[in-house]
A and B are shown apart, each in its own frame.
Chain A
Amino acid sequence: MAVFDTPEEAFGVLRPICVQLTKTQTVETVEQLQAQLQAVSDSALQQLQQYILFPLRFALKTPGPKRERLIQSVVECLTFVLSSTCVKEQELLQELFSELSACLYSPNSQKPATVSEELKLAVIQGLSTLMHSAYGDIIVTFYEPSMLPRLGFAVSLLLGLAEQEKSKQIKIAALKCLQVLLLQCECDDHPRSLDELEQKQLGDLFAAFLPGISTALTRVITGDFKQGHTIVVCSLKIFYRTVGFIMADEQLRSISTVQEKPAVEHRVAKLMVHREADWVKNTGDKLTILLKKIIEGVSVHPHWKVRLELVELVEALLLKCTQSLVESAGPLLQALVGLLNDESPDIQARCHKVLRHFADQKVVVGNRAFADILAEHLHSLATSLPRLMNSQDDQGKFSTLSLLLGYLKLLGPKVSFVLNSVAHLQRLSKALIQVLELDVADIKIVEERRWNSDHLSTSPKTSASRPWSQFQRRYFRFFTDERVFLLLCQVCQLLGFYGNLYLLVDHFLELYHESVVYRKQAAMVLNELVVGAAGLEVENLHEKHIKTSPEELSKIVTSILEEYTSQENWHLVTCVEAEEMGEELTMQQSGLQAITSGSSTCQVTSFPAFSKPSPTICSMNSNIWQICIQLEGIGHFAHALGADFRLLLTSALYPVLEKAGDQTLLISQAATSAMMDICLACGYDSLQHLINQNSDYLVNGISLNLRHLSLHPHTPKVLEVMLQNSDASLLPLVADVVQDVLATLDQFYDKRAASFVGVLHALLAALAQWFPDTGDLGQPQAQSVGEKGSHLSPRPAALEKGLEKSTTAEDIEQFLLNYLKEKDVADGNVSGFDNEEEEQSDPPTVDENDTVPDVEPPRPVQIQIAADVMERCIHLLSDKNLKIRLKVLRTLGGKCGDFLRSRFCKDVLPKLAGSLVTQATVSARAGPVYSHTLAFKLQLAVLQGLGPLCEELDLGEGDLNKVADACLIYLSAKQPVKLQEAARRVFFHLMKVDPDSTWFLLNELYCPEQLTPPHPSLHPVQLRGAVGQQNPYIANVLLLLQELQ
């Protein structure tokens, strides 16, 4: 709040101090003056400006040694006055400018005087304030040629400060002041913009400072990162504004070749620069050197704001000085392109904006020189890429690839011209292939198994819009940084988008064929090319670019797909299939399947021509990855083609589904996610829906592959999955393919029975599910069975149960019973006279019941199928392989309990239980290697099979106890974990059948809590497994008891 509003009042107050100051110049007096000034209004101060300034200027000008402290306070006071007033006279402005500048000048040296930092700061601020206080037009006249020496002095002073001072504050202040001096100030106090002529005159004047400013600033900019980003940002700003102003094409265009005679004295005239063509050329060349230095230093600056400012620099210079700085265009574009993929999203956004701006202004495409420069750079980058990918670290690779990506983005549609050159394409592809090489030494890949063969339950809704974003972690030989991989993907996508897709796909397919070493990488590239060609992940900077048409893309995808799923690329050795690989198969594999061992991290083993090949871990890993990549590719293709992919399902669905059931975890995962991609792309709600709607395609594949089972050993598995996901509407199809399956099974009883039993099980389960009630079709049969049953067997309980059950099951049971008994009879194994007689009368009973007399009554299709299946199962019951027998038992057990129960309890159970008990002692003591032995696998198989069997066969108490006793030992913590787990499963099943006795049994082993009787008159119960007692069963018993509650 000003106390003295009028000049008169103020003068009265200030006069004594001013007088005193003139006489004795002390800090105190100056401070007093300043304190008084605070109370004077601005208007009054303006009136008294000259009067007040006088003693202050006097104090500065007084010759002789001065105390710095005094000068500082004088300058501060002066600054205060200037900040509140305007300088309206040209002369005053010039004088004050000189006087202030002189404060830091030491007459003895060229360098700024060695004065205190505070003084320097005060003077800088004083200068800055002075320039701001200059009123209206006088600021323009200030920059007349005669001022050149004094201006030059100030500029070099400020540059010196900015460069050499230690204090960050001073440096920044000096730079800001320089900005003001060069009329680049960003504050609002400069309302008047300069007209063309004035700009030109200023340009002429400033041109004299350009060398000094540019070199000094370059030193600052490329200085230590530690100096802080503000200084660098500020210097960059001054640099490009100054260069952009002096070298502006617009100004230079109007410069005449002959220099006008300036109306100044000779000494000054010599300093003046004439910006004619030669000068421009020379300066441009020198600036290019500086710019290269700056770009080199700044593009890797750790602070993002600095890099952002570099983008501004590029934009400003490329827009304003296209001609004058044509030599720098290359490095400038490179800088921009390199920052396109900066880690900071702000910079990325800014770069894209700049690029868009350039594209709009046709800076690159419309400018042949620029396009040529870019093409040339791309060429040289492609040339050095393989070497760089080899030698650089991850960060280096990242920036190199960012650069590559940027060039491609900028070139846009011109990419396809560049890649028409074979040399270019080869270099580029070689580099991509090289850097994408996978590290396949990890043993886990082969080892990880899919244990549960549960239904496919995942629905595509759970995955994100870009479904493969959570792809499996891959390990590359040449980099570990995930970002490098993403960049590579983007590069490929961009190539696919802008390049000639036919050419590129051809080229990479050729590489794919050329060597196993390239195969995985080439597939990765192909996958991304297609995604890019569909324009899905690509931001198009060039609006006129026409992307590949869906028809063409579809054709291309078809050919890649064919390649991927061909026998030699799809059926690779991924594990040592002890069970499923028959001798004959192995022999064929040696010829047919590509056992790849080409990866250079692995030892390349060469097999003698006819020996049994033993694939190395590396080669199997490599194969696994190849399949995964191809599967991922199929997902990508679906994504790229959208609903058009439906047409490709004829050939793609079967192979993918086949891999979904693969034993190797990675492959199975990759296949499932590919199927989800397909679901999303083709509009299926779930995997079930996909499978169900396309069962005809699957059946086609299954039926054709069954013809060459040795080449397609997994075919039954595909059918199994299909059956699990189908419904009754597909019965005709199923009936059709089951004929093929059974015919094939008949050929291969000895070798591949196990895989077929799974199918048969799935088939029966599906049939039972599809035709659950006893109505319609099944009625006559049900009755006939019922009648028959009543006089056949003395088992009313079984009969009741049978009637409750589905027709299918009943019929099957009957069929099986008849069949077995007939077989017994045929074998001469006559057990009792009564039975035999009834046996023989059975089949006619069935026939009599049929209603249509003349035509042979067709059985319902599902029953016919079931009967056919049973016939095979009986045969398989005698198979040598225990695993198959167990599986068959389960298959049968689900559908025809009674008979099996008796057979099972009498013959099978004792043996199984016995073997479990004897083996338990061995496995309890075994080491980690034990899990690879046959004995272990048998134990596991038995334990896994027993639980469901107990439940399905509905065993009685005595037999259940046998099972429980045999499995109990396996609850011990000493047993291998897998066996413990399996044993727990058995108990889960037992709990379902008889929870009470299971509870009792478990508590006998270990009783976690004291049982208190409900009434005090009852005796407390004491179970054998007392609390607190240490025994190896505790953990598992607790788990199971928890489940029981």
Chain B
Amino acid sequence: MAAPPPPPPDPQFVLRGTQSAVHALHFCGGAQGQGCPLLLSGSQRGLVHIWSLQTRRAVAILDGHRGQCVTWLQTLPQGHQLLSQGRDLKLCLWDLAEGRNTVVDSVHLESVGFCRGSILAGGQQHWTLAVPGRGSDEVQILEMPSKTSVCTLKPEADAKPGMPMCLELWQANSSSRPLLLAGYEDGSVALWDVSERKVCSRVACHTEPVTGLDFDSQKARGVSGSAEKALAVWSLDEQQALQVCGTHKLTNPGISDIKIRPDHKILATAGWDHRVRVFHWRTMKPLAVLAFHSASVHCVAFAADGLLAAGSKDQRISVWSLYPRT
């Protein structure tokens, strides 16, 4: 008789107090010993909460999006700078060093859509930012911090992929050419060569708009989710052609966000069915269904040390410690 699988775990702890739905999560610090680890959360009401994972309390609240939903949060690798994207059509750059929390710069956005931005930052001063562009199907590439527009990626006229829904800038180890993965409204995922401004490859993964994607540049494999009942795993060959490797059925439809853990071992999805699902990244074997939230889960995030956070419409952020690395 096979032993029954162990019961799904409980969250390690739950953060309360955003007082509105949580739409964006991002971990920073901790692993490299940059002081105590923090979790950043963006809420429907436009506030960014900075949580100390040590005290499990908000240490600061940033108000920079005039009450409009914060959809994307990202810190820059150099230091204490935070990017926040809000539905007030503004992307704010915050200085968080030494307890400051002031907006030092902002970028005006042209698209009202749900598409989150993406950055590509090496160790240098300069970094590249991808955001949805003026035209409904365009992606704009900016050189930061100078905010100079590098180019606009517009699909060919006959492609009609719809709006970009999610972006992922990356760079292959072998080359210095920035590449962009974009999930589109028509369910397709496209690989753009940013410097040549052309689509290298495009593959239809879903029948519904792509709502989230993440890419593992080591394995040259990515995963995407959409409003439908399946995840798509696709890969990139040497000729930079995208191929769908397989799809994985879900119990309930609707994925809001999808993230691969930094160690490329597992991935987590944020489900409209209030649940977070965890898969083995290599085999795509379902590992756990994390049931805690009482409304749809909007976003998931992994910390460098493997901690998982999920933000939900029920205004809570659950933090989980799964398969901790020893």
Contact = CB atoms under 8 A, between A and B. Distances in A.
Interface of A: 646-647, 650, 696-697, 699-700, 703-704, 707-708, 732-733, 736, 739, 743
Given A736-B316, A739-B294, A704 B14 contact: yes
7 tightest Cβ-Cβ pairs between the two chains A and B: A704-B10, A700-B13, A700-B14, A736-B16, A650-B56, A732-B19, A647-B54
Chain B contact surface mostly: loop
Given A647-B55, A696-B16, A696-B56, A736 B10 contact: no
Nearest to A695: B16
Contacts of B315: 736
B97 to A, nearest CB: 24
Contacts of A733: 16-17
B80 interface: no
Contact of B17 (A647, A696, A704, A743): A696
A697 B294 contact: no
Given A696-B16, A696-B57, A732-B19, 8 more contacts: A647-B54, A650-B55, A650-B56, A700-B13, A700-B56, A708-B10, A736-B16, A736-B315
A647 B53 CA distance: 10
A151 B54 CA distance: 82
Contacts of B11: 704
A231 B70 CA distance: 91
A708 B8 CA distance: 12
Contacts of B294: 739, 743
Contacts of B16: 696, 699-700, 732-733, 736
Report the interface size class on chain B.
10 to 19
Interface string B285-317: 000000010100000000000000000000110
A592 to B, nearest CB: 13
A696 B225 CA distance: 34
A650 B56 CA distance: 8
Interface of B: 10-11, 13-14, 16-17, 19, 54-57, 292, 294, 315-316
A650 B13 contact: yes
Nearest to A708: B10
A1014 to B, nearest CB: 67
Contacts of B57: 696
Contacts, number: 34
Contacts of B17: 696, 732-733
A404 B161 CA distance: 83
A1028 B16 CA distance: 68
A978 B243 CA distance: 80
Contacts of B56: 650, 696-697, 700
Nearest to A651: B13
B196 to A, nearest CB: 50
Nearest to B52: A647
A697 B52 CA distance: 13
Nearest to A650: B56
Contacts of A732: 16-17, 19
B43 to A, nearest CB: 13
A289 B19 CA distance: 82
Q: Looking at A699, A703, A707, which has the most chain B CB atoms within 10 Å of its CB?
A: A703
A599 B14 CA distance: 40
A421 to B, nearest CB: 30
Nearest to B55: A647
A732 B294 CA distance: 16
Nearest to A736: B16
A320 to B, nearest CB: 57
25 contacts: A647-B54, A650-B13, A650-B55, A650-B56, A696-B16, A696-B17, A696-B56, A696-B57, A699-B16, A700-B13, A700-B14, A700-B16, A700-B56, A703-B14, A704-B14, A707-B10, A708-B10, A732-B16, A732-B17, A733-B16, A733-B17, A736-B315, A736-B316, A739-B294, A743-B294
B48 to A, nearest CB: 18
B34 to A, nearest CB: 17
A496 to B, nearest CB: 25
A708 B11 CA distance: 13
B118 to A, nearest CB: 33
Q: Looking at B11, B16, B294, which has the most chain A CB atoms within 10 Å of its CB?
A: B16
A732 B16 CA distance: 9
Nearest to A701: B13
B292 to A, nearest CB: 8
B275 to A, nearest CB: 14
A743 B54 CA distance: 30
Contacts of B19: 732
Contacts of A650: 13, 55-56
A652 to B, nearest CB: 13
Nearest to B54: A647
Contacts of A708: 10
A734 to B, nearest CB: 11
A703 B13 CA distance: 10
B6 to A, nearest CB: 13
Contacts of A697: 56
A703 B294 CA distance: 12
B326 to A, nearest CB: 15
A696 B317 CA distance: 13
A444 B13 CA distance: 39
B67 to A, nearest CB: 16
A155 to B, nearest CB: 77
Nearest to A732: B19
A708 B55 CA distance: 25
A686 B155 CA distance: 66
B16 to A, nearest CB: 5
Q: Looking at A697, A704, A743, which has the most chain B CB atoms within 10 Å of its CB?
A: A704
Contacts of A646: 55
Contacts of A707: 10, 292
Contacts of A647: 54-55
B277 to A, nearest CB: 18
A650 B17 CA distance: 16
B41 to A, nearest CB: 15
A419 B129 CA distance: 60
A743 to B, nearest CB: 8
A696 B315 CA distance: 14
A866 to B, nearest CB: 20
A971 to B, nearest CB: 51
Nearest to B14: A700
Contacts of B316: 736
A703 B19 CA distance: 17
A703 B292 CA distance: 10
Contacts of A696: 16-17, 56-57
A696 B49 CA distance: 16
Nearest to B10: A704
Q: Looking at A650, A697, A700, A743, which has the most chain B CB atoms within 10 Å of its CB?
A: A700
Nearest to B13: A700
A16 to B, nearest CB: 106
A699 B11 CA distance: 13
A598 B16 CA distance: 43
A32 to B, nearest CB: 99
Contacts of B10: 704, 707-708
A621 B74 CA distance: 55
A743 B292 CA distance: 12
A59 B57 CA distance: 104
Contacts of B55: 646-647, 650
A372 B316 CA distance: 62
Contacts of A736: 16, 315-316
Nearest to B18: A732
Q: Looking at B11, B14, B54, B292, which has the most chain A CB atoms within 10 Å of its CB?
A: B14
A743 B294 CA distance: 10
B85 to A, nearest CB: 26
A609 to B, nearest CB: 17
A647 B57 CA distance: 11
A733 B19 CA distance: 9
A732 B316 CA distance: 12
A707 to B, nearest CB: 6
Nearest to B292: A707
Contacts of A703: 14
